[in-house]
Amino acid sequence: MNEYQLISDYKQIKKYKESFNELAKLVFNLDFKEWYDKGCWNDNYICYSYIDGDKVIANASVNKMVVICNGKEYKALQVGTVMTHPDYRHKGLAARLMNIIIEKYEKECDFIYLFANDTVLDFYPKFGFEKVKESRFSLKTSDLKKQVLYKSTIRKVDINNQADFELTKGFAAERIPVSSTFGVKNNDHLLLFYFILVFNDATYYIEEEDTIVIVKQEENKLHIFDIISKKSVELVTILNHIVSDNTEIIDFYFIPDSNSENIYTEIMAGSDDTLFVRPFIKDMPRRLLFPLTSHA
């Protein structure tokens, strides 16, 4: 085991950063290059990696952020990008990295959490993580209170346009949590990852509301992945800007702030991402959903 060196916080070291990216491409088909070339890798994203020579062979990253739960702030740490090169698996490297992260951060934060796919559901309970079920939230447009909008100027955001990129950077840095029930802040590095690499074709700016929305219409369903604003906005107003005549169902990928009793909620039966928390925070809502754009 001693032949592999542990390194961390190497965002300024080109050879390690590029080797990390090669491993992410190999394991997850994820390419971080555009994200870090645009300067989005900040101090809230820290890699813990083993190297063999100059090659990153295993990694677990931490994402520092603040979680807002019913108005109360919690210091949270999300673990992500847990990966091992196929040639170096079954040596316990990921487990070592998890132990290092837990030992370093468990006293600094209120809780640690992560999302796991089906292949590793038995791995994380060994480190004291508890599986937590999340919920889905949706609304029928027939139950939406219609508003008369005198004007609606919505335009697609082009992340490759410098002015638009600066716009998204400003919103990422200054956004308020999407939900007062359960939301996150100080996670601009993650939100920019979604702007640049995940939803670069689904991001729109609503001029009248000075709000960015990440949305996608699929047949009769409107998927709302995030609503990003620097000030409090009325959900129903935003919905009236983006709902089309074809929309029958609105699916939310966060807990919507709404007084409407018509928001339908159900426990997720199956998900590609299973939430694990250590320790479980009792103040978390009974119907819980971490905003999608905060997933590492």
Residue 71 in tokens = 């108005």
Q: Where are the alpha helices (DSSP H) in 29-177?
A: 33-37, 93-105, 162-174
pLDDT of the residue at 260: 60
Q: What is the pLDDT of residue 138?
A: 95
Alpha carbons 82 and 94: distance in angstroms, whole number: 7
DSSP string covering 67-82: EEETTEEEEEEEEEEE
Please check whether residue 93 is in contact with residue 84, taking contact to mean a CB–CB distance below 8 angstroms. Answer: yes
**What is the predicted pLDDT for the residue at 25?**
97
**Cα separation values, 76 from 14, 73, 163, 280, Å:** 28, 9, 32, 12
Angle, vertex CA 127, rays to CA 16 and CA 72, nearest 5: 90
Which residues on neighbouring strands pair with residue 25, listed in sequence order? none
**Which amino acid belongs to residue 248?**
E
Q: 34 with 197: CB under 8 angstroms?
A: yes
Contacts of 129 (CB under 8 A, 6+ apart): 112, 113, 114, 276, 277, 278
Question: Which amino acid, residue 286?
Answer: R
Is the pTM above the cut of 0.85? yes
My answer on whether omega of the bond before 291 falls inside 30° of 0, hence cis, is no
206: CB partners within 8 A, 6+ apart = 152, 153, 154, 212, 213, 238, 241, 242
Element (H, E) at 239: helix 235-242
Residue numbers of the chain with a pLDDT score lower than 70:
1-2, 148-150, 259-261
Structure token digits, residue 96: 């070592």
> Containing H/E element for 25?
helix 14-28
Distance between CA 198 and CA 82 in Å, rounded?
A: 19
Tokens of 100: 């290092």
**Which architecture does CATH list for 137-267?**
3-Layer(aba) Sandwich (3.40)
Neighbours of 285 (CB within 10 A): 13
Q: Which residue has the tokens 């005198």?
A: 150
Every domain of the chain and the residues it spans: 5-134+269-294, 137-267
Handedness of CA 262, 263, 266, 270 (dihedral sign): positive
Q: Where are the alpha helices (DSSP H) in 194-234?
A: none
- The dihedrals phi and psi of 176, each to the nearest 5 degrees, come to -95, 155
Q: Do domains 5-134+269-294 and 137-267 have the same CATH topology?
A: yes
pLDDT for position 282: 81
For residue 137, the model assigns a pLDDT of: 95
Residues whose CB is less than 8 angstroms from the CB of residue 270 and which lie 6 or more positions away in sequence, other chains included: none
CATH no., domain 5-134+269-294: 3.40.630.30
* Coil, strand or helix at 255: coil
SS3 279: coil
